[in-house]
Amino acid sequence: MAGGKEVKTLLLSQDDLLKVGVTNMADCIDVIEGVFSLIGKGDYLMGGPLQNEHGQMIYFPDEERFPGMPVSGPDRRFMSMIGYLGGKYKICGEKWYGSNPANTSRGLPRSILTTILNDADTGAPFAIMSGNQISAMRTGAVPGVIARHLARKGSKVVGVIGGGVVNRGGLLAIKTAVPTIEEAVLYDINLEKGRKWAEEESKALNIKVSVTTNIEEAIRPADVVAIATGGNVVPRIEKEWLKKGALVIFTGDADFDPEAYSENTVFADNWKMHQAFIADGKEHPKGLEAVSVVAPSYHLLLAIQAGKFDEKKVRNLGDVVNGIDKGRSSDDEIIMFVTGGMPLHDIAWGKTLYDRAVKEGLGQEFCFFKEAYWR
């Protein structure tokens, strides 16, 4: 914080955050639900002229232009995600990260993230935090909020498409928000990895978790479908596989026929952000394809671009949370939900944890300067 002429910040490690409950999903869901309420009211800002951009991404070239310059590839990117969050927060913040699937062979996570919180008045950073677990929990909590409001009552089975970190948090959140969940069926192209994931999640959540390499087997019995695959494999899902009353959550992209959207109900976390994806695509030589790496709504956007879906039909979760939209209309209604990830969630969960850390006296204080050398 800025005090007089001095600017100091608090450095919080992963260990610090674990001590103040970064993995408490029930708390995280409540915090993220509150953020959706603020989004619904419009008390927020994100980057770009539309004030709704997911983030600013470095688009790597297809071929190396100079020695050492990164080249494009599946999930290969650097991104800055910035925002202002109002309500009780009234702060600015950023999630900054680099992503490279090759990291996993080095014993590192695919993405390495930093969360930064700033005073909205002075601009001074008051917290710099290890961002991986903050991001994993807030990403997982979003499906929890979605399921809390839109899953059919009595839902029992989750179809998990992709056994990675995102769906680890997503399944935990769905189970937390919908206590009737008793089984999950995981689809993953890597059977050995999938079996390990299923065993770990079964023990952690005390539910039955099976694994299959046949995606249809994971979709057909599911009351809730959680999609979060990475890399260059985009799962193809047939609309006929969807169970009546299913809630399909796109945290990652999936290839559906356009009719799957036009014949069912479509919700979004913040449709204005997905409209910003369209604007970004218009500026890139590859068009909309360029944003497919960060837009789980990519195939929906293609359907809109082709005139096969009317975007005016998209409804927003914030309106449901705020009681403006009644949400699900029947037990047979199939709901398709696209979510793209917003820095507002990192800011809110990060600030919640920062406040706890300050009370506990955790972290390391770092002084930027006692007085600016030039000003």
Per residue in 278-310, pLDDT (tens digit) is: 888 888 888 887 777 778 888 899 999 899 999
pLDDT in tens, 1-11: 666 689 999 99
- Percent over 90 (pLDDT), the chain: 86
Average confidence score pLDDT of the chain? 95
Q: Are residues 170 and 258 in the same domain?
A: yes
Neighbours of 100 (CB within 10 A): 19
Paired with 209 in beta bridges are 184
Residue 142 reports pLDDT greater than 80: yes
- Name the domain count of the chain: 2
Report yes or no on 42 lying in a domain. yes
75 pLDDT tier (thresholds 50, 70, 90): confident
Domain range enclosing 114: 2-135+344-369
Is the distance from CB of 228 to CB of 248 less than 8 angstroms?
no
CA 226 to chain centre: 12
Q: Are residues 187 and 272 in the same domain?
A: yes
Cα–Cα distance list, 366 to 6, 22, 123, 349 (Å) = 11, 22, 16, 22
Distance CA 228, CA 187 (A): 11
341 pLDDT tier (thresholds 50, 70, 90): very high
Q: Structure tokens of 156? A: 């029992």
Q: Are residues 42 and 63 in the same domain?
A: yes
CATH number at residue 311: 3.40.50.720
pLDDT in tens, 208-227: 999 999 999 999 999 999 99
Mean per-residue pLDDT for 78-107?
Answer: 97
* Diameter of the chain measured on Cα atoms: 66
72: helix, coil or strand?
coil
Distance CA 17, CA 335 (A): 35
Mean per-residue pLDDT for 21-30?
Answer: 98
